[in-house]
Structure 1
Amino acid sequence: MKLSVVILNYNVCHFLELCLKSVVTATSKIDAEIIVVDNQSSDDSCHMIKTRFPEVTLIENTANYGFSKGNNIGVSRAKGEYVCILNPDTVVTEDTFLSVLKFADKQDRLGIVGCKLIDGTGAFLPESKRYVPTPAVALKKILGDTDSYYVNTIEENAIGPVPILVGAFMIIKRHVYNAVNGFDEDFFMYGEDIDLSYKILKAGFQNFYFGATTVIHFKGESTCRNKDYAKRFNGAMQIFYKKHFSKNLLLETLISLVVKGLIVLNLQPSIDKRDVKSIVMVSNRKYKLIESVLPFSLIYKSKIEEVADHQQLILDNNMLTFRQIVSILEIHANNKTLTYRILPRESDFLIGSDNAVSKGIVIHF
């Protein structure tokens, strides 16, 4: 078997459904398996998988084991030469796996391959390619200097070696994953992707950013950016520092003080509200039920020739491919007034996200 796609899920049923539809399509020409590990979700995730995706291997955990252990459980069941660690709030395109695997097969001492990630508005996510966050680099990042944190020397659509990749999308040979003992289960959530990337570098493998394919990562679906988030993230980074770096009392004290100050202040990421003044349905058919749940009359178009400010585009996956949907988001990424909803193929809901830091939106019809 060539590829095992491992998806760890926790209470994001609708995003998972969209994700699985994209993965099923993207693996149709590959000898592949799809494994979903559910961390004791309280929503309808498991029922949805059993009824809509019977070909998917479902592992139902009896507790929420966190990101690291959950993914390790999935990989332990995998049979593929390669493993893809994939978040449930992602959308891959029809050629994502084909293009990444073609590139991966040509590399020697290959570690992890990551790809270009965009959020639900088409904005590039800079965490797609990062440097090693040493304590000094992390302190600069906390204070607002990201030049030594993100790898800005490689263009968004380019390909090149990078130290650290993000756990939302990672492709790695299964024997390499096992050789470094996978994700460190001391990390419950956050930091585990940094740790795995760094362990693989230290083992003599090379990680790559592959910007020739793009994946949507809606983000923020399994967590909220609040005080608890700051505490968990800080705790994860402390584990990382103690594991990989010599003790630096001054830097560790400075980082701890800054993070504690941020926790006390409870500073929230700024969110630009995107007002909607018209809604365009990109489709070759009309949906009366969708019209009944929206605040505006729908404007139907079979293709997008131009957009207006403050429009919301509903992208019909019954007509548009995932590649076309991603392309639309990328083409109009500079228009900061646009919002998007996706109608997944053969589904009764619209789904999307207007920013990278808060919960997404699901509209039933």
Structure 2
Amino acid sequence: MTVTKDLTFSIVAYKNYDQIINAVNSINKFTKKYSKEIIIVDNTEQACIKDYSDQINNLENLNDVQLIQNKNNFGFGKANNIALQHAVGQFFVICNPDILLIEDSFSKIIPYMEKNSQIGAVIPKLIDQHHKIELVYRRELTPIDVIIRYIHPFGWFSKRRAYHTMQDMDYSKPFRVPFGQGSFIVVRTPLMKRINGFDERYFMYVEDADLCKRINQVSRLEYYPYTSVIHLWEKGSQKNLKLLKWHMQAMIRYFVKWGLK
């Protein structure tokens, strides 16, 4: 791997160009200290592209953006892997379209990772638009935690859900994360390539749990509390039956691969 930049941002698009423009603008505003490339892998189907031509043109005109159009929806993991194939940054940033940087986070994250070689990846403090920390840091995925996730609106098994989402941890200090939501993860690019990126057998959902597990097998994924990033979390699979179906299929694939606990 030839490193020519500090950061590679990988953003997967699917018709949400205006949202991505906001994300890219925040990246450009708060990463001026570091060289970067922003690789946007577009999963929007070819038949729909013409409906978004103005937004796509606006996106391509932003600084440091490289747009790769798949013409078909290849899924989240495979799209990120396409970005990984082109990555020339020292750090590979998995970045959802609904992410907004609000400070110079990388002036804290990069020196921390350079000082701690055992840390292969970090997740900063992800907060909502009201600056409340989100429950995106989790212990190992188990079938019971999957079930509880979907019955939680009824208020059942709150203690177990709190344990799974690591609410017992001290969020003022770094700690190891077995499973961090893949909305914003900073990974050493050589490590990401060493583990062959995402498992592309997951079309959507749970690929982040699988990735985190493999990172932790050879390195360390850590929560980093000293900088915050806004995540405008939509929780689509809890509202859409088709997305819920994909989520359940991905869960089954995960447990077939890793076994039940």
2:250 counterpart (203, 211, 236): 236
> Equivalents in 2 of 1:157, 1:21: separation in Å?
29
Q: Secondary structure at the match of 2:67?
A: strand
Aligned-partner Cα distance in 2 for 1:192–1:66: 10
Q: More helix by proportion, 1 or 2?
A: 2
Could you tell me whether the CA contact under 8 Å between 1:138 and 1:149 is conserved in 2? no
Counterpart of 1:167 in structure 2 is 182
Q: Secondary structure at the match of 2:89?
A: coil
Q: Which consecutive unaligned segments of at least 5 residues does structure 2 have?
A: none
The C-alpha deviation readout for 1:235-286, integer Å capped at 9, x for no partner, is: 111111011115x8xxxxxxxxxxxxxxxxxxxxxxxxxxxxxxxxxxxxxx
Change in Cα spacing, 1:64 to 1:54, as seen in structure 2 (3 Å) is same
User: How many residue pairs were aligned?
Assistant: 244
- Report the CA distance between 1:122 and its aligned residue: 2.9
CA distance in structure 2 between the aligned counterparts of 1:46 and 1:118, rounded to whole angstroms: 28
Unaligned runs of 5+ in 1: 249-365
- The code of the aligned residue for 1:76 comes to Q
Map 1:1-365 onto structure 2 (within 5 A). 1-40=5-44, 42=48, 43=52, 44-51=54-61, 53-127=62-136, 129-144=137-152, 145=157, 146-202=161-217, 204-220=218-234, 225-246=239-260
The whole-number CA distance in structure 1 between the counterparts of 2:103 and 2:41 is 23
CA separation in 2, counterparts of 1:97 and 1:35?
A: 18
Shift of the 26–221 alpha-carbon distance from structure 1 to 2, 3 Å rule, reads farther
Query: Contact 2:178 / 2:213 at 8 angstroms: preserved in 1?
Result: yes
Is the partner of 1:232 in helix, strand or coil? Answer: helix
Give the conservation status (yes or no) of the 8 Å contact 1:10–1:222.
no
- Cα distance in 2 for partners of 1:93, 1:157 equals 19
Structure ID, larger Rg = 1
State how far apart, in whole Å, the 1-side matches of 2:12 and 2:235 are: 12
Q: Deviations over 1:54-74 (max 9, x none)?
A: 531111111111100111001
Q: Deviation string for 1:224-244 (max 9, x for gaps)?
A: 722222211111111110111
Q: Which amino acid aligns with 1:216?
A: I
Q: How far, CA to CA, are the matches of 1:223 and 1:167 in structure 2?
A: 15
Structure 1 residues 45 and 73: CA distance shift in structure 2, 3 A: farther
Does the 8 A contact of 2:43 with 2:70 survive in 1? yes
After superposition, the CA RMSD in angstroms is: 2.0
After the TM superposition, list the runs of 4 or more consecutive aligned residues in structure 1 that deviate by more than 6 angstroms. Answer: 221-224
The TM-score with structure 2 as length reference comes to 0.86
Q: Which amino acid aligns with 2:59?
A: I
3-state SS of 1:185 partner: coil
| Percent identity of paired positions between Structure 1 and Structure 2 | 29
Equivalent residues of 1:38, 1:46 under 8 A apart? no
SS at structure 2 position matched to 1:40: coil
TM-score (norm 1): 0.63
Report the equivalent of 1:348. none
Structure with the bigger RCO (C-alpha within 8 Å, sep 6+) is 2
- Bigger shift: residues 234-243 or 11-20: 11-20
